[in-house]
Structure 1
Amino acid sequence: MEITGDEIRRRMIDHESLDPGGLRIVGATITGRLDLSDVVAKRPLVLVDCKAELPVVLSRAHFSLLDLSGLVAPSLQARGLTVDHHLKLSGARLTAEESVDALHMRIGGSAYLDEGFQASGTVTLSGSQVAGVLMCGGGRFDNGLFLVDLRVGDGIFLNQDCRISGGGVHASVRLRGTRVDGQLLLRGVRITSAGVALDLRYVRVGRELFLPFDGIEGKAQLEGLTYEGLPRDATVDEWLAFLADRTLRYSAQPWAQLATAHQAAGHERDVRRIRVAQQRDLRRRGQLSRWGRLWHLVRGVTVGHGYRPGLALVWLAGVLAVSVGVVLVSGGVRCSVVEQVGYALNVAAPLLKADAARCTVDAGSGAGRLVLASTWLLQVLAWAFATLFVAGFTGLVRRNA
């Protein structure tokens, strides 16, 4: 069966004469250009399993429902398209370099690019609004899926072995600035890129985020990503590794978002792990001066950046042990062994005074001078570790990290 593009346009312009079910054509070859730009038809248009030799043009058109399932065509041009209910491109095959150009669409129902949908070129839905779901399960996108500044009501579903690659200078999946009132689900998707695979910058997810990392082959950008509750389908360890090794650069916000989610869930141990891992990433990739990097390292080793203040007590105990060892081994302090231990604790431990009144240091001998010099240094270290413990325990180090 053949039908011209001009005949379809004529029928849709004269939509009042159509059955309430609209125009339905199945398995036809559309000859000539199908140009429905600026056509306003309050009827459904159903072209199932049809083939078009030239690009299908729907720019600024308006339909009650649009079903192009199984369409075979070079491309679909649909800037400013309005559909009151659903847009269906399930199983469609589009072969041009720019397969779908659908900026600023308004879809009152859901949009389906699933069930065998194939696009050899770019698919762009940026700036569009979809009241229901954007379903891409089982679709194949060979040159990127661009969903910048999209507004979606119920959710975006990239699942069921959906495969996305390419993207040129941009990410293979680019959702920068998108807002999803419901779920963002990337379960079962495979996204591949030699550079950036996934761009989720400034994406707002109103409900759950399902983001397993095993299907992402390439880097990711997560700055500004926010979501409700705990992210699903990845463990805390997987998140720590992904943020540290698979993002383009250090950014505090993704770490803070993850920590906030676990804080709200009452997972205090995981919150500390996330915060410590964030500080390691800051030291490795953040913009710190040489001295800032050194001080950052000291904070991490001594008090875990304020999240493990007990480490400072371990270091303090080590200083006291070294002080006792120096005094006992050097032979520069004259008194009993018990009094020598008390003397070592006196000179090194902040605010700790043991009975060592009868101990004297032979300052004229090399051993005595060694004791004096080492205990002064150890006293400084002991005070430093005690101060760091207090600062870490009270949260001062965390506020200044």
Structure 2
Amino acid sequence: MEITDLTPAERRVWDAFPLGERVDFRADPDEDVSAGAGWESGRTLRAEVLAALLLRGDTPAVRGRVAGLNVKGARITGKLDLKYAVVEHAVRLRGCWFERKPLLYGARLRALVLSDSVLPGLTAATVSVDISLRLSCCRITGPVRLQGARIAGGLFLQRAVIGDPGAPEEAAEPALQFNHADIGTDVIAMDLTVHGQTRVNGATVGGQVNLDGARLHAPGGIALHAETLIIGTDLRARGLQARGMVNLTGARVPGQAYFAYARLINPGGTALRASSCVIGEMWLRRCDPVEGDVNLRRSQFDMLHVSPQTWPERIRIDGLTYRTLAPHLPAEQRLPALEREESGYLPYAYEQLAGAYRTAGDEAAARTVQLAKLRRHRRTLPRHARLWGLLQDATVGYGFRPLRAAGWLLALLTTGAIAYGIHPPRALKTGEAPDFNAVFYTLDLLVPIIGFGQEAAFAPAGWYQWLSYLLIVTGWVLATTAAAGVSRSLQRQ
């Protein structure tokens, strides 16, 4: 490229480059960049001129100035081809309209700023950036390819709009790709809008990923594909709207995965898949009811914050481990969610919930969960095997409601004492029998082993004899079920 071939607009950029000065072609600071195709020729730059400027090896050094490409409001025609290039200067093309998508595959750059620009796409797989890559407020209709990128600083995508909402749903290529990328600090993407899949699986982010207020649209597909994502601090997604699956399988987040106020929508499929994850705190606080299944199998959370109303009709929690559960609610409000497990009865899910209540110091709620577990287990048994469980439940609540046995005992004791007090049984040996006591006679019938000498001395007749048989049998049943329940409770402790 000869300097004599430059247009006046290109000459301005060429002369400003050694000084690092900004060249602003805007007619109005608030102009609509999407109308850049119709901008006049006086603000048009050829991409090949910009590439030649960035790759020239004889840039004159100006004392006290740092050379760099700094352009605002230009119409860039042709393809900016920096494939495999090594660019030693910062590239700032803000508020520009690109005729063709830049090609930065395998390039090494100091910094790249394309904020507020309109592009038909960006091909920058395996790009290396020493400082940061900024796509804030961009409108990019085609795919953004950053897979395998190495960015020492941050990736900025806030308020960007990526993808074509009118593209057919069967389009295979994800709209935003930085899978297997290595981001040194943060991914800042508040209010990001993506039409199509956002693929970040296998990426490593040294700081946080911030998707607060983002809108990810991939109806019927995968809105966020983040398998094995590794984050240094937090995954923030407050107010996220995801139409399609949010897939966090195998992700590692030592801090918070913060989905408060999020809307997860994928009816007929899985809305949230966070299986085999290791996350410090999983927040689903004040979310709308999830439209679609939730899969948390084999994940480990230090704290899980979710309201019962957030759970969908079907969940998968086999192997889910959490230490604490928030907000702290009565066990009766938490138990219905365990009935929604797709696999049916899972003893571990009940044990995990009971353990969370014990961690919170709520032993009563933990016992309620254990009782619910045994009742749920009883429903899995054959019909003939449920009778013994029903007896234990009705009498002592499987050992978790020991006062029930006392209530039954008191009711039977009262019945027997009244019946035999009105009609005392005859003495077996007149003159040798002790004085009759209706209360202790009834206790003799009810309580096995212990004897007060009343049962052996008197013999009821008629229906009173049948009452004595009922009291004896009931006493043995109460004693046996109480012993079984207490034994189970002691073993558990």
Q: TM-score category by the smaller chain? A: 0.7 to 0.9
Any idea what SS the aligned residue of 1:236 has? coil
1:223 corresponding residue in structure 2? 297
Question: How far apart are 1:8 and its partner, in Å?
Answer: 5.7
- Which residue number corresponds to residue 387 of structure 1? 483
- What are the superposed Cα offsets for residues 314-354 of structure 1, whole Å, 9 maximum, x if unpaired? 4444454565567668x694369963432222122134433
Q: Which has the larger radius of gyration?
A: 2
Post-superposition offset of 1:273? 3.9
Query: Would the aligned equivalents of 1:5 and 1:35 in 2 still touch at CA under 8 Å?
Result: no
Which residue type is aligned with residue 327 of structure 2? Answer: A
Offset from partner CA, 1:172-192 (integer Å, 9 cap, x none) = 222222111111211121222
Q: 2:338 aligns with which of 244, 248, 252?
A: 244
CA distance change for structure 1 residues 328 and 107 in 2, over 3 Å: closer, same or farther? farther
Distance 1:283 1:222 in 2: 26
Q: Is 1:345 aligned to residue 417 of structure 2? A: no
Q: Which residue of 2 aligns with 1:367?
A: 463
* Residue 87 of structure 2: aligned partner: 15
Q: For residues 49 and 68 of structure 1, what CA distance do their matches in structure 2 show?
A: 7
Report the TM-score, using the length of structure 1 for normalisation: 0.80
Q: Deviations over 1:182-213 (max 9, x none)?
A: 1121112122232432222222123x332225
SS at match of 1:342: helix
Percentage identity across paired residues of the two chains: 24
**Which ranges in structure 1 are unaligned for 5 or more consecutive residues?**
167-171
Please give the root-mean-square deviation of Cα atoms over the aligned residues, in Å: 3.3
Residues 256-289 of structure 1 deviation map (CA, whole Å, 9 limit, x = unaligned) = 44443443343333433444455556566xx655
Name 1:101's counterpart in structure 2: 177
Aligned counterparts of 1:338 and 1:378: Cα–Cα separation in 2: 22
- Aligned partner letter, 2:134: D
Which one-letter code corresponds to 2:180 in the other structure? H
Partner of 1:113: 189
Q: How many correspondences in the alignment?
A: 376
Report 1:45-84 matches (<5 A).
45-53=112-120, 55-64=121-130, 65-73=132-140, 74-84=142-152
Q: 2:327 aligns with which of 206, 229, 234?
A: 234
Asked if 1:163 is matched to 2:163, the reply is no
Letter in 1 for 2:176: V
1:129 maps to what in 2? 204
Measure the CA separation in 2 of the matches of 1:210 and 1:188: 10
Unaligned runs of 5+ in 2: 1-73, 306-324, 428-433
Relative contact order: is structure 1 or structure 2 higher (C-alpha 8 Å, sep ≥ 6)?
A: 1
Shift in alpha-carbon separation, 1:36–1:310, aligned structure 2, 3 A: farther
Does structure 2 conserve the Cα–Cα contact (< 8 Å) formed by 1:38 and 1:60? yes
Following superposition, the deviation at residue 30 of structure 1 comes to 1.7
Is the Cα contact below 8 Å between 2:447 and 2:476 reproduced in 1? no
Which one of 274, 279, 292 corresponds to residue 205 of structure 1? 279
Name the counterpart of 2:426. 334
CA distance in 2: counterparts of 1:34 and 1:158, whole angstroms: 30
Matched, 1:139 2:214: yes
Instruction: From the superposition, tell whether residues 383 and 251 of structure 1 become closer, same or farther in structure 2 (CA, over 3 Å).
Output: closer
SS of the residue aligned with 1:223? coil
Provide, for residues 121-179 of structure 1, a one-character-per-residue CA deviation record: whole Å limited to 9, x for no partner: 121211211111110001101222222221111111110x221122xxxxx22222211
Deviation at residue 355 of structure 1 after TM alignment: 4.3
Does the 8 Å CA contact 2:249/2:277 hold for their aligned counterparts? yes
Shift of 1:386: 2.8
Q: 1:368 to 1:267 in 2, by over 3 A?
A: closer
Alpha-carbon distance in 2 for matches of 1:296, 1:203: 37
